[in-house]
Amino acid sequence: MGVSRASIVRWAPALASPRHQGTIEGMVPALVLLVLPILGPIPGLGAGLAHAQPPGDEEGTPGDATEETATTPPTVDETAAPVDEPSTETTATVTTPTAPLTPGEPPPGPPPEDEDDRPPRTYPRLVLAGGPVVGPHAFGNEECDAEEARCETKGSFLGLGGQLELRGRLWRLLYLHARGVIVGNVSPNDRVHRGVGMVGVGLGLYGRRAFGRGEYLYVGPFGDNHFEPPFYEGEVAVDEWGHHAGLLSVGFRQPLPARLAVELWGGLMIGPRSVRRVPQIEPDERVLSTFLIGLNLSWDAWP
């Protein structure tokens, strides 16, 4: 059945009259109680319904209950745990794993600085050296005369000169060297031979501060080999030298700037063979055991 708009207008003032107002307000709590089980518990709503008074109560009017419920602030549970607000700052902690230390081991730290400021050991490919040299030495003939109470030494030799040496590296400390030596006879006694020239070749081990080597020497004496024997008149004796000798030597080096070094070396020279012939005396054959001593200034020509 349809309802006309005129009838709705006619019945609306009747529903708003004081006679029907109490009936409608009394139905509201009942409707709320029917809706609560469906919607579930609503916080704060139970407290408001507990304070609500039905209409017509002597202690208050419906308007008073509605005003009290509206003006009562919501209660806050003080026993509830506080909620932490999310922090906007984030700190990252980086941990570095460390190995356990053994007893007596120092704590890890920066590597110690090398206190040795010397440059690393190098082995130059080619070295040129040279300097003065003393030797070889040969004792002369010495005789004494008891009647005259004196002794004489004749036919000695003491060399003084220089040498030039060239070294080439074979492997690390091992070097092959060749040298030329020339000395003059500066003996204060009656001299035999005016000098000696030598050419040598050998092998050596050369460290930073010390070295050692062995070599073969070809010996070539020059000058007059005649001399005057003790208590003789005239150079009637002869000293004949051979040509082969060997040398074992050691030395010490002091490095200098500009690829230079100072070397002091010396060694035992075995040879050459010597034969002395004096009239009316058996020939004296011997192998000279003498020395060579030198002071060099070396230069690394090819580092």
The tens digit of pLDDT for each residue in 160-189 reads: 999 999 999 999 999 999 999 999 999 988
Tokens of 150: 């004196």
pLDDT at residue 40 is higher than 60? no
The tens digit of pLDDT for each residue in 233-283 reads: 888 899 999 999 999 999 999 999 999 999 999 999 999 999 999 988 899
CA distance 76 to 98: 52
Give the residue-averaged pLDDT of 140-150.
82
Q: With the C-alpha atoms ordered 188, 192, 194, 197, is the resulting torsion angle positive or negative?
A: negative
pLDDT for the residue numbered 6: 47
CA distance 199 to 251: 19
Domains of the chain with bracketed CATH: 9-67 (no CATH), 126-302 (2.40.160.20)
The tens digit of pLDDT for each residue in 41-50 reads: 555 554 444 4
User: What is the H or E stretch that residue 30 is in?
Assistant: helix 18-39
Q: What is the DSSP letter of 147?
A: T
CA distance 292 to 286: 19
* Other Cβ atoms within 10 Å of 16 Cβ, number: 10
Range name among 25-29, 70-74, 224-228 with the lowest pLDDT average: 70-74
Q: Where does the chain show beta strands of DSSP type E?
A: 126-138, 141-145, 150-171, 174-185, 190-191, 195-206, 210-222, 226-227, 237-241, 244-256, 260-277, 284-302
pLDDT at residue 204 is higher than 60? yes
pLDDT for the residue numbered 194: 95
